[in-house]
Amino acid sequence: MNIIDSNDTFRKYDFSSTITQDDVNEAITIIKGIIDSGNYWENSPKFQTKENIFARPESVWLKFRMSFLFSIFMYMGREVKVGKMQAWSFMTNK
The pLDDT value recorded for residue 94 is 57
pLDDT for 57 beyond 70: yes
The residues that bridge with 40 in the sheet, in sequence order, are 49
Residue 2 has pLDDT above 90, yes or no: no
Q: Please state the pTM of the whole predicted model.
A: 0.81
C-alpha 81/C-alpha 16 separation (Å) is 25
Residue 43 pLDDT > 90: no
**What band does 90 get if pLDDT is binned at 50, 70 and 90?**
confident
- Mapping DSSP onto H, E and C, the string for the chain reads CEEEEECCCCEEEECCCCCCHHHHHHHHHHHHHHHHCCCEECCCCCCEECCCHHHCCCHHHHHHHHHHHHHHHHHHCCCCCCCCCCCCCECCCC
Mean pLDDT taken over the chain: 90
